[in-house]
């Protein structure tokens, strides 16, 4: 039995918000979930998350999604977007957590029970939760696959050392290797 922790911060991420963001993203060929606090994962491996009503987080989960996301990232960095679209700097520390003991780790560290998140999620869509873990604000999504639930956790990079060492210590106690 174990909980496995992996640092996946190197994946390409982009964020934006504003009243015109959804329309602009559609023009960029990027679909967004229709409901607040939801994510979807397309066939290219592009994870799109709607945080509240008009803030968005995108992450290239697979290399194929990078080419879709790169033009939007460039436009946001160069301020080449229409009025009503504002860039959100995404320098998150991102980890993935999986394994049979994952809920034991969450029970020790997370402010909410994530079992409902796992039950409501599929590999391609589900809710996102904005909460805290060990005192650090996080966004969490669950994407079940053939190996079980895989949780992606985005956190503030200024807490990365603390966040990683605390979760790694707990995962190790639960018998988990670090990936």
- The pair phi, psi for residue 130, each rounded to 5°, is -105, 115
- Identify the band that residue 179 occupies on the pLDDT scale cut at 50, 70 and 90: low
Please, which residues bridge with residue 104 across strands? Answer: none
Average pLDDT over residues 57-76: 93
Report residue 92 CA to chain centroid gap: 9
Query: Per-residue pLDDT tens for 9-27?
Result: 999 999 999 999 999 999 9
- pLDDT category of residue 2 using cuts at 50, 70 and 90: confident
Q: Residue 20: beta bridge partners?
A: none
Residue 140 binned pLDDT confidence (cut-offs 50, 70, 90): very high
CA distances from 92 to 34, 46, 152 (A): 24, 17, 11
Angstrom distances, CA of residue 23 to CA of 16, 68, 81, 97? 12, 16, 11, 33
**Of 1 and 94, the one with more pLDDT:** 94
Non-local (6+) Cβ contacts of 10 within 8 A are none
Using pLDDT thresholds of 50, 70 and 90, give the confidence band for residue 127: very high
Please give the model's pTM, rounded to 2 decimal places.
0.93
Q: Mind spelling out the 3-state secondary structure of 93-132?
A: EEEEEECCCHHHHHHHHECCCCHHHHHHCCCCEEEEEEEE
- What percentage of the chain reaches a pLDDT higher than 90? 85
DSSP 30-89: ----SSTTEEEE-TTSEEEEEETTTEEEEEESSGGGHHHHHHHHHHHHTT-S-TT-EE--
117-134 mean pLDDT: 96
* Ordered domains of the chain (ranges, CATH): 13-87 (3.30.70), 92-173 (3.30.1360.120)
């Amino acid at each position: 039995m174990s909980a496995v922790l992996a640092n996946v911060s190197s994946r390409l991420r982009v964020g934006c918000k504003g009243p015109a963001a959804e329309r602009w993203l559609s023009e960029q060929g990027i679909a967004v979930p229709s409901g607040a606090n939801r994510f979807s994962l397309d066939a290219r491996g592009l994870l799109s998350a709607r945080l509240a009503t008009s803030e968005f987080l995108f992450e290239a989960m697979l290399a194929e999604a990078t080419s879709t996301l790169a033009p939007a990232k460039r436009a946001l960095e160069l301020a080449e977007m229409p009025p009503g679209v504002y860039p959100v700097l995404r320098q998150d520390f991102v980890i993935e957590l999986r394994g049979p003991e994952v809920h034991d780790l969450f029970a020790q560290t997370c402010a909410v029970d994530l079992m409902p998140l796992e039950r409501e999620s599929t590999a391609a869509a589900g809710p996102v939760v904005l909460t805290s873990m060990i005192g650090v604000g996080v966004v969490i999504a669950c994407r079940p696959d053939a190996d079980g639930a895989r949780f992606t956790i985005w956190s503030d990079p200024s807490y990365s050392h603390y966040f990683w060492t605390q979760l790694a210590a707990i995962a190790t106690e639960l018998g988990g290797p670090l990936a």
